[in-house]
Chains A and B, each alone.
Chain A
Amino acid sequence: MSETADNSLVQFHNVSYSIPTRDRTVILSDLNLAVERGETLVLLGESGCGKTTTLKLVNRLLTPTSGQVLVEGKSTTAWDPIALRRRIGYVIQEGGLFPHFTIERNVGLLPALLAWDEARVSERVRELLKLVGLPPDRFAERYPHELSGGQRQRAGVARALGADPPLLLLDEPFGALDPLTRASLQREFADLAARLGKTAILVTHDVREALLLGRRIGLMHKGQLVLLETPEKFLTSDHPQARAYLDTLDVGGGQ
């Protein structure tokens, strides 16, 4: 047990979540999952399967109805939510950038919240913008609406990396992009994640993306984790939900 705890950054123990309304719609039931340090885990599933909820349980945007989520061995409800979230980068579609901040201020927000001195924040922002392929001299002073969708997404990733968090949560980060931009961003992200050694949980409904980016793929269906496999084993799985996804790949002429 203690060995697992050492290797796992995030653990789900019998986690269920239902919407706290009168009819208590069950979103997630009895989830058990451990995310290892350094891996990119992809949660794959159609809309409404509970994958985004799973993500939000990690940085305590939601708390479990039953069971517990451990981050670095400590239950999310035992963490100070602010301290917890500042250790977790969060990337959503279109980046979720603040429209009234320049790219520089958006990316430097977390370091500024952590009261880094100005020179260090500015240095960090330049470094991050270079890392995600946005030359600081051209982009630092711009506002989000002056950027393309792909550029905004890059800025969103840069912002999530601001305070060098050990864990990244990404909710369909490339979903709103055109196929070419998406492909190039996916490749760059895979490269980046490997280079930085970050642990990442990425949510998607795109099986190609899952196969490309995941060290393991968790397949979710109707609030349950139905399969958890490496990409190689996922490709040969005979689970009906996995097959349904894999069948969509054949349209382009198979592997």
Chain B
Amino acid sequence: MREITYRQALNEALAEELERDPNVFLMGEEVAEYQGAYKVSHGLLQRFGPRRIIDTPISENGFAGLGVGAAMVGLRPIIEFMTFSFSLVAFDQVVNNAPNMFTMSGGQFNIPITFRGPNGPAHQLGATHSHATENFYASVPGLKVCTPATPRDAKGLLKTAVRDDNPVLVLEAELLYSSKGMVEPPDEELLIPLGKADVKREGGDVSIICYAQTVPLALKVASQLEEEDISAEVVDLRSIKPLDEKAIFDSVEKTHRVVIVEQDHPFCGVGAEVCYRIQKNIFDALDAPVLRVSQEDVPMPYNERLERAVLPNADKIMAAVKKVCYA
């Protein structure tokens, strides 16, 4: 194991998959000559050439559709959105074409495509550039959605996504690109399956279920809780769809108390689905109502103080944990 950044981990995943399979190509805005808007594709043009690392005009709907069409005839495109907020311009291709094709064609055309890029609020980018899209996309049958929170998960999930025969969205965490973590050496194949959550910290009193940018936040809160003699388990979903019900239930059956921390909006958010499944399947395991900490239900304000108020933060998580622990 060695320590690398989340950005480097993604870069390694791309390079390894491009190296492994000649049908894989990377396409998007500024991915080639500019080396990636967030430098995730750094060096790939030099290594793999312009046939496989392809800059596009600012036409998300056009190049997302191009990817779906190329996937229909056997290529395995990786389409980068400069941010998933811009994927909304390509919503028709991501939601209407990619996941529907397999069904509509009676199983003749599966779409092995990866859509990837940063997702979720960053810092003072305002309402149009701060979308957390995981709940929109997870609600679409035919799509798979994953949300890595660590360099290791980022590498392993992206590589798995590229090899998947379905459309997979890899929602990267913009604020985590420079974060560091331990990852297997490059000569060791690292594949992390979709639909497997990961207990990032074990604990016995409360389960904090989280993903993406909320994972480091939850871990921080869990350390603080230790000082107050509350032992929090941090469950990183890693994949939103498929959802690892078993890992969730295992943790909740141990702790009997749940706080879900999500980076999307509360109405029809990821936490609503998780909560529904918990109460439906293991109602008797609960010792307190399930609480959710999400964004506030408003478009993201630019003002820094207001933005902080909208986002999930340590204080909100702490308060929720104490409430479910009746502490």
Q: Do A and B bind each other?
A: no
B residues with CB within 8 A of A: none
A residues in contact (CB < 8 Å) with B = none
